[in-house]
Homo-oligomer: A and B are copies of this chain.
Amino acid sequence: MEYPAPVARLIEELRRLPGIGPKSAQRITYHLLKGTVEDALRLGDLISRLKEGIRTCSLCNAITDQEVCVTCADPVRSDKVICVVEEPHNLVAVEKTRDFRGRYHVLHGALSPLQGIGPDELKLQGLLDRVRGGGVEEVILATSPTVEGEATAVYLARILKPLGVKVTRIAMGIPVGSDLEWADEVTIPKALEGRREY
């Protein structure tokens, strides 16, 4: 018994997504087969067109559908503090706590010599430009407390401090070895509050 080709191909393709194993891929496929044509078309269309009009913010590299993202465009936020995160969803996690009213910078990665990710693979230039441009008093390094995130924070502290800006690291309120993504809305403000100077 083989699956019909379109079914087998979708199961195979779904397995390539993060967190989806063979059983999950099969369950999702049968769920879609049992659902309406409209449901499948809606999901398929959203995926196909996902990248249309989506870009990274020209200031902070967040995911946006504008030239400048909502956070950077907000006139009320303080330009004096920049919170540096690894990935766009880390920004969303911090933002959900409504505890931070400064600006962000998204690196789109973390240093990982083993995976061949060096400083050139990270989006650093915009951050350096903003700090050099003046007006920034503090850069909070909110990379994840993993080996890679820690290495990235140490590296950033080393290149940012000579520019005369205060560089801080979020506190290890977030369980070490975990990812910022999994931290809850109580832990993130605690970590922001307990930040220490490098």
Contacts and interface: CB of A to CB of B under 8 A. Distances in A.
Interface residues of A, number: 57
Contacts of A186: none
Interface stretch (A16-24, A115-123, A157-165): A16-24
A43 B117 CA distance: 27
A76 interface: no
Interface in A8-52: 9-10, 13-14, 17-20, 23-24, 26-33, 37, 40-52
A26 to B, nearest CB: 5
Nearest to A91: B1
B24 A19 contact: yes
A50 to B, nearest CB: 5
B44 A6 contact: no
Closest 10 CB pairs of A and B: A44-B48, A44-B47, A1-B95, A4-B65, A10-B46, A44-B44, A18-B27, A17-B28, A19-B24, A18-B31
